[in-house]
């Protein structure tokens, strides 16, 4: 049997830090915009081979060869620190601990990687969420969305947004989610071939952590900004270079902790025309902002 799932990318249209908790986590306010572009993940399994022990998970992926070409070569992915494997393990442990009715089977997973990692697009988080959604169905756990989202937050603060599959305003550590309807506009995304370690930005002394809190209504009447942009552009020249280039054509923004910068367009053709001018050394794509995606197909 085969199950294919779309693993969408996201943008943070704004991102503010309003404080830091005693446990070290940061209080955020952000607007997640889902996109109609992302990775694809294929799950293969034998429905008749139900097992009682822990399932074997094999993960393969289409290997990226350089900044904007991906081969179709299937390469075994190292399992350590991989969110797909962690998601599968977490769901298995949840089901066993609660003695849920289930039909565990071994799974072979092929990740068709189209989005760059370390780019502020939520690629790894989306892959983890997609794995939870797919295995919830394959293993016949039938957990509701709210339970899957609670499991997902253990994998990362922005993983639940992909479980809920809605563009949303998020607060807390990114886990208090309010779905919102956004205008479906077009975005030009530029990845300047620099993966940024999130931890480096959160630990930076340059990071401002005390912006005043705003309601969603207040944000609707406020200019958008990303608290990480001045830090990322200071620490990584590639980000500043992309921002400087995009400034010639439109107002630039940065997504998440970077390094993807983007511009917003009402017109698809205008976004495509500017994409044609993007320096060939950078990865770029034009994507449509959506309020939700069809995931399983």
Of 182-191, 195-204, 260-269, which gets the smallest average pLDDT? Answer: 195-204
pLDDT at residue 68 in the model: 43
Contacts of 258 (CB under 8 A, 6+ apart): 119, 120, 196, 201, 228, 229, 232, 236, 239
Q: What is the mean pLDDT of residues 229-241?
A: 97
pLDDT at residue 75 in the model: 58
Token pair 């249209």 is found at 13
Q: Domain segments of the chain: what residues?
A: 2-179, 186-290
Which of the following is catalytic: 10, 86, 113, 194? 10
Contacts of 39 (CB under 8 A, 6+ apart): 6, 7, 111, 112, 113, 114, 115, 123, 126, 127, 130
Which of the following is catalytic: 86, 158, 175, 194? 158
Q: What is the mean pLDDT of residues 283-291?
A: 98
pLDDT at residue 71 in the model: 41
pLDDT over 90 at 79, yes or no: no
- Assigned superfamily of 186-290: GHMP kinase, C-terminal domain (3.30.70.890)
pLDDT at residue 297 in the model: 78
Q: What is the mean pLDDT of residues 75-85?
A: 72
Of 25-34, 57-66, 164-173, which gets the smallest average pLDDT? Answer: 57-66
113 carries an active-site annotation: no
Helix 145-152 with 83-97: angle, nearest 10 deg:
120
For 138-183, give the DSSP string: HTT----HHHHHHHHGGG-TTHHHHHHTS-EEEETTTTEEEE----
> According to CATH, what is the number of the domain 2-179?
3.30.230.10
158 carries an active-site annotation: yes
Q: What is the mean pLDDT of residues 30-36?
A: 98
Asked whether the whole model's pTM tops 0.85, one would answer yes
Tallying the residues shown for the chain, one arrives at 297
pLDDT at residue 64 in the model: 54
Q: What is the mean pLDDT of residues 46-68?
A: 80
């Amino acid at each position: 049997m085969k199950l294919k799932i779309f693993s969408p990318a996201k943008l943070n249209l704004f991102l503010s830090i309003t404080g830091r908790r005693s446990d070290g986590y940061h209080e955020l306010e952000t607007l997640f915009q889902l996109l109609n572009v992302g990775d694809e993940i294929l799950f293969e399994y034998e429905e008749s081979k139900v097992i009682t022990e822990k399932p074997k998970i094999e993960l393969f992926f289409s290997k990226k060869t350089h900044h904007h070409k991906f081969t179709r070569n299937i390469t075994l992915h190292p399992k350590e620190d991989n969110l797909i494997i962690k998601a599968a393990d977490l769901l298995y442990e949840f089901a066993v601990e609660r003695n849920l009715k289930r039909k565990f089977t071994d799974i072979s997973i092929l990740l068709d990687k189209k989005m760059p990692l370390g780019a502020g697009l939520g690629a790894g988080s989306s892959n983890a969420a997609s794995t939870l959604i797919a295995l919830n169905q394959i293993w016949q756990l039938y957990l509701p969305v709210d339970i899957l989202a609670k499991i997902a937050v253990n994998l990362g603060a922005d993983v639940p947004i992909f479980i809920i599959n809605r563009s949303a305003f998020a607060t807390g550590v990114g886990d208090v989610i309010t779905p919102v309807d956004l205008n479906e506009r077009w975005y030009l995304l530029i990845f300047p071939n620099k993966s940024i370690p999130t931890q480096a930005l959160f630990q930076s002394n340059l990071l401002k952590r005390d912006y005043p809190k705003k309601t969603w209504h207040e944000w609707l009447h406020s200019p958008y900004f990303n608290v990480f942009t001045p830090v990322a552009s200071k620490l990584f020249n590639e980000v500043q270079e992309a921002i400087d280039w995009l400034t010639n054509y439109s107002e630039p923004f940065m997504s998440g902790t970077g390094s993807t910068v983007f511009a917003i367009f009402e017109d698809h053709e205008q976004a495509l025309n500017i994409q044609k001018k993007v320096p060939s050394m950078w990865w770029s794509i034009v994507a449509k902002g959506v309020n939700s995606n069809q995931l399983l197909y």
